Amino acid sequence: MTQRPKLTLERSYDASPEEVWDVLTTKDGIEAIMGPDGFKAEVQTLDLRPGGELVWTMTTVGREQVEYMTRAGLNLVTEQRARFVEVDPPRRLVTRDIADFVPGVEPYEVETIYNLEPVDQGTHLVVTFDAMHDSLWTENAKLGREQELRKIGEFLAKRQ
């Protein structure tokens, strides 16, 4: 695997590590948080163990996003795959996604590490992930991860 720079985002939630873990590792949670705004995720396979696989379909549903994807020559529906590398509930989750959706770029892996720390008011989540192949795609990935962190909070708030 080629070494690329890492990015780190952090967020705290008024929820236990077990509750945050549940959002990151269940079909309902993954479908609620996965993908940027204007996209819908649907989980097909969820085998939560080291070496297990997560397979989901990402469908572009927002009008602006459909227009952007069409102009950019990107598929409106893609199948995404990730392999679970480390599963240590409710403290640490490591995945390796396959970035195979960029026209003209050979597929490559993107590692993501989720570290959950209990704090007085709930859970502090630190997400560290590989940069993409260029600065534009890296910025898009960062924005997507920031939206994912926001969606985790929204999902947790709805469950309470």
The pLDDT tens digits of the residues spanning 44-85 come to: 999 999 999 999 999 999 999 999 989 988 889 999 999 999
Structure tokens at 124: 């502090």
Angstrom distance (rounded) from CA 150 to CA 84: 23
The pLDDT tens digits of the residues spanning 17-28 come to: 999 999 999 999
Q: Is the pTM of this model over 0.75?
A: yes
Q: Kind of pairing, strands 39-46 and 77-88?
A: unpaired
| Statement: residue 148 has pLDDT above 80 | yes
What pairs with residue 119 in β-bridges?
122
Mean pLDDT of 23-51: 95
Mean pLDDT of 34-45: 92
pLDDT the model gives residue 1: 52
The pLDDT tens digits of the residues spanning 81-140 come to: 999 999 999 999 999 999 887 888 999 999 999 999 999 999 999 999 999 999 988 998
Query: Using 50, 70 and 90 to split pLDDT, how confident is the model at 2?
Result: low
Tell me, which fold does domain 6-159 have in CATH? Alpha-D-Glucose-1,6-Bisphosphate; Chain A, domain 4 (3.30.530)
Beta-carbon-side half-sphere exposure of residue 20 (alpha carbons within 13 Å): 27
Contacts of range 101-106, beta carbons closer than 8 Å, 24 or more positions apart = 101/74, 101/75, 102/133, 102/137, 103/73, 103/74, 105/133
